[in-house]
Amino acid sequence: MIAKKNLFSSEIKEKVQSLISEMTLEEKVGQMSQFDWGFHAINPDAGGEINLIMKELLDKGMLGSLFNLSGVEQANTLQQQAIERSRLGIPMIVGRDVIHGYRSVFPIPLAQSASWNPDLIRRTASAASKEAASDGISWVFAPMIDITRDPRWGRIAETMGEDPHLGEIMAEAWVDGAEVLDSANESLSVASCPKHFAGYGFAESGRDYNTVDVSDRVLREVILPPFRKAVDAGALSIMASFNEVNGVPACANHYLLTTILREEWGFEGVLVSDYNALGELITHGVAKDAEEACEIAIKAGTDMDMHSGIYYKYLPKLVQEGRVDESLIDAAVGRILALKIKLKLFDNAQVNPDLNQSVILSEEHVSLAREAARESIVLLKNDNDTLPLTKQLKSLAVIGPLATNINDPLGCWAADGNPDDVVSLLDGIKAKISPDTELLYAEGCDIESEDENGFEQALAVVAQADVTIIAVGESKIMSGEGNSRSELDLPGKQRELVEAAIKLGKPVVVVLFNGRPLTTVWLDEKATSIVEAWHLGIQSGNAIADVLFGDYNPSGKLTATFPRSVGQIPLYYYRKNTGRPPGGVYSSRYVDAPVQPLYPFGYGLSYTKFEYNNLVISSTSISSSDSVSVSVDITNTGSYNGDEVVQLYIRDLAASVTQPLKKLKGFSKISLLAGETKTVTFTVTPSDLAIIGVNNSLTVEPGSFQVMVGSNSEDGLIGEFVVR
């Protein structure tokens, strides 16, 4: 675990002060500037002023950071140039979006979070950082820990879902895994960069970059907890979000960046803007020009300017005119230099190019990719125990546009992924089944066109086979940044293909490849078995085949609610009761649809059955400083060994401010052999019971509390206790 507070030792701080005392103002603001090298590579002569500033800073050896380089040789060369040209020998820091793996691409974060396995997340984050570091990257712009309740928003794919508590646990694990501080300096150490601070996932209408308008209460109860946990876990940097919070875009929001992050939380790391977010302050309409954007951003607390050039261009002038105190510059540069010293970039910024061979796509990482993919899969439906399939089928048909697809399983942020490294579903199945099985394949249709010409051939193989597996879903560019959707069903003619196949009356298993919750109510009504396979990365096909043919009993649980329709959004489990909970005419209901989700938060089936019995609460009455333990017996009553995510939800029945019907406050993933019983005990502490009361302070208010322990957010054993 990274040291919690005191990110930077006194030795580091002393070195920082001595460097700053020798630096010119221009050198300081150069350190506060970061550019996208990929942009330069695409537009070596175009790209206007941005390129010119980048080149000027590179030539002068004053550039603080570059990102989107390609490969270790380029990183070593540019780093060498930076140090040689820098009057004080200051290295750059090289960044990259390493969101769910580097070359060994792991499942998208929304999928990984469905494993409810923080240690797995820690391991995939660490593997990703090690691969990135071997390419000269020492700053990963991850984890993305935005909370969202809106599956229209394309970046839900990058999140850990809708719940703040799960978000906290995963944020801590990701930061701990991603920040590889390698004392041996075999490979560069790596800094994490939790993002996007804050509230980005609450974009109105689910449209990326759209206005965010949340109360301070929602900000503090829902959005900030994962970031606080990331800071306490030792995050060395944080990225501010594009969106406004309470009317002020994050990179110019003093309340967010200074009052909360620095003064309340004591965060000592670097605060970097998002891509040209300083320039966007003009577009937002909070700065009349770049000079004003520069002034409000530095005064709010943005340390590093990503790819706008505004800091370099205007900070010296603002300081010379006395509009910005140089102490603000020194504080920002100090954090940037401290980060570089902490990462040992001053000691050795060259990476041994041979490291690549032993790290990139190592056997360990590929095996981890398969493990992560298996644990990310969620079994949504399995009537008549159709799954798992026998490997000795006489004949098997595989149809659908995702069956042989090796591109889309890479997911939305896999810049360094290579489709050639991906195992397709068809190949995963081929590797799994008996050579005597007649394996039939036809695509049937593509992902999004209206073309049904392939139906006939596909339905012919379905008719011929004993069982059919249908691979359908979204392309990877239907989620991720800038890719929000207004409808959440299967695109193109995929629904028609699935319905036509089901109509033939043979057993059909539907495998979904998607980057977000879908509103596939019709599928749940018509299919017998549905497997949620997200975009699972390089080992997608093998992991899905492991599940389909019983070599792995699925244990995933949804971390984002699947709504029945877009009209229900936002829909999330920790909703409030309101004064008129859904019921009769004059209640919070729809006249044309139920209010319940298609699949709730925490939902996921297994090939076996888990029975919950004997909920015991250690005390029915406690003081506000006491803890209480809640235990329950879980029995595997089926015939398969399996893993179960036991979930603990708490409800404060009456408080000074309205409380959700339930809040996740604990979970435990346990393995149970067939027939085995285990007792799981949770300790509910005062911090689990504390709420931000009407007076805005965090307190445990007296009153009755309900606990629910179950296998999803909708059903479980219920007990009560009182806080005196």
Tokens of 367: 């095996």
Alpha-carbon distance of 374 to 540, in angstroms, equals 8
- Count CB atoms within 10 A of the CB of residue 619: 12
Between 71 and 567, name the residue whose CB sits nearer to ligand GLC: 71
| Residue 141 found at the interface with ligand GLC (CB under 6 A) | yes
Beta bridge pairs of residue 632 = 680
The residue from 274, 292, 416, 474 that contacts ligand GLC (CB under 6 A) is 274
Q: How far is the CB of 178 from ligand GLC (least distance, A)?
A: 13
Q: How far is the CB of 141 from ligand GLC (least distance, A)?
A: 4
Q: How far is the CB of 484 from ligand GLC (least distance, A)?
A: 13
Q: How far is the CB of 591 from ligand GLC (least distance, A)?
A: 39
Q: How far is the CB of 192 from ligand GLC (least distance, A)?
A: 12
Strands (E), 514-582: 529-532
Q: How far is the CB of 163 from ligand GLC (least distance, A)?
A: 21
Question: Per residue in 422-442, is it b (16+ CB within 10 Å) or e — as a string?
Answer: bbbbbbbbbebbeeebebbbb
For residue 240, give the H/E element and its range: strand 237-240
Q: How far is the CB of 304 from ligand GLC (least distance, A)?
A: 12
| Residue 701 found at the interface with ligand GLC (CB under 6 A) | no
The residue from 174, 275, 534, 610 that contacts ligand GLC (CB under 6 A) is 275
Q: Which residues contact 58 (CB under 8 A, 6 or more apart)?
A: 78, 81, 82, 85
| Polymer length of the chain | 724
Between 479 and 711, name the residue whose CB sits nearer to ligand GLC: 479
Alpha-carbon distance of 124 to 108, in angstroms, equals 11
Q: How far is the CB of 264 from ligand GLC (least distance, A)?
A: 24
Catalytic residues: 274
Alpha-carbon distance of 332 to 28, in angstroms, equals 9
Alpha-carbon distance of 328 to 515, in angstroms, equals 41
Tokens of 227: 């970031």
The residue from 27, 32, 90, 97 that contacts ligand GLC (CB under 6 A) is 97
Between 27 and 36, name the residue whose CB sits nearer to ligand GLC: 36
Q: Which residues contact 123 (CB under 8 A, 6 or more apart)?
A: 177, 368, 372
Between 66 and 180, name the residue whose CB sits nearer to ligand GLC: 66
| Residue 552 found at the interface with ligand GLC (CB under 6 A) | no
Between 130 and 195, name the residue whose CB sits nearer to ligand GLC: 195
Task: Tell me the CA distances in angstroms from 320 to 317, 326, 702, one per residue in order.
Answer: 5, 9, 57
Residue that is written with structure tokens 């792991």 in the block: 106
Helices and strands in the chain: count of H runs, count of E runs? 23, 26
Alpha-carbon distance of 394 to 449, in angstroms, equals 33
Alpha-carbon distance of 551 to 558, in angstroms, equals 21
Between 39 and 562, name the residue whose CB sits nearer to ligand GLC: 39
Q: Phi and psi (nearest 5°) for 470?
A: -115, 125
Of residues 678 through 697, those in contact with ligand GLC by CB under 6 A are none
Between 413 and 534, name the residue whose CB sits nearer to ligand GLC: 413
Q: Phi and psi (nearest 5°) for 284?
A: -60, -30
Q: Are 375 and 555 in contact (CB under 8 A)?
A: yes
| Residue 481 found at the interface with ligand GLC (CB under 6 A) | yes
Q: How far is the CB of 307 from ligand GLC (least distance, A)?
A: 8
Of residues 247 through 266, those in contact with ligand GLC by CB under 6 A are none
Q: How many CA atoms lie within 13 A of 219 on its CB side?
A: 18
For residue 376, give the H/E element and its range: helix 363-376
Beta bridge pairs of residue 679 = 633
Alpha-carbon distance of 556 to 347, in angstroms, equals 43
Between 54 and 501, name the residue whose CB sits nearer to ligand GLC: 54
Task: Tell me the CA distances in angstroms from 175 to 195, 234, 498, one per residue in order.
Answer: 11, 7, 41
Between 308 and 529, name the residue whose CB sits nearer to ligand GLC: 308
Q: How far is the CB of 476 from ligand GLC (least distance, A)?
A: 16
Task: Tell me the CA distances in angstroms from 157 to 125, 482, 560, one per residue in order.
Answer: 16, 12, 10
Q: How far is the CB of 101 from ligand GLC (least distance, A)?
A: 15
Q: Nearest-CA neighbor of 476 among 541, 389, 535, 548? A: 535
| Residue 370 found at the interface with ligand GLC (CB under 6 A) | no
Q: Nearest-CA neighbor of 608 among 511, 674, 533? A: 674
Alpha-carbon distance of 386 to 433, in angstroms, equals 16
Q: Which residues contact 467 (CB under 8 A, 6 or more apart)?
A: 389, 393, 395, 396, 397, 506, 507, 508, 509
The residue from 195, 229, 493, 535 that contacts ligand GLC (CB under 6 A) is 195
| Residue 644 found at the interface with ligand GLC (CB under 6 A) | no
Between 141 and 513, name the residue whose CB sits nearer to ligand GLC: 141
Tokens of 149: 């309740």
Between 221 and 274, name the residue whose CB sits nearer to ligand GLC: 274
Alpha-carbon distance of 177 to 518, in angstroms, equals 30
Give how many residues touch ligand GLC by CB under 6 A: 6
Describe the strand order of the beta sheet including 270-272 as a list of residue ranges.
195-197, 237-240, 270-272
Q: How far is the CB of 309 from ligand GLC (least distance, A)?
A: 15
Q: Are 451 and 568 in contact (CB under 8 A)?
A: no
Between 275 and 312, name the residue whose CB sits nearer to ligand GLC: 275
Interface with ligand GLC (CB under 6 A): 97, 141, 195, 274-275, 481
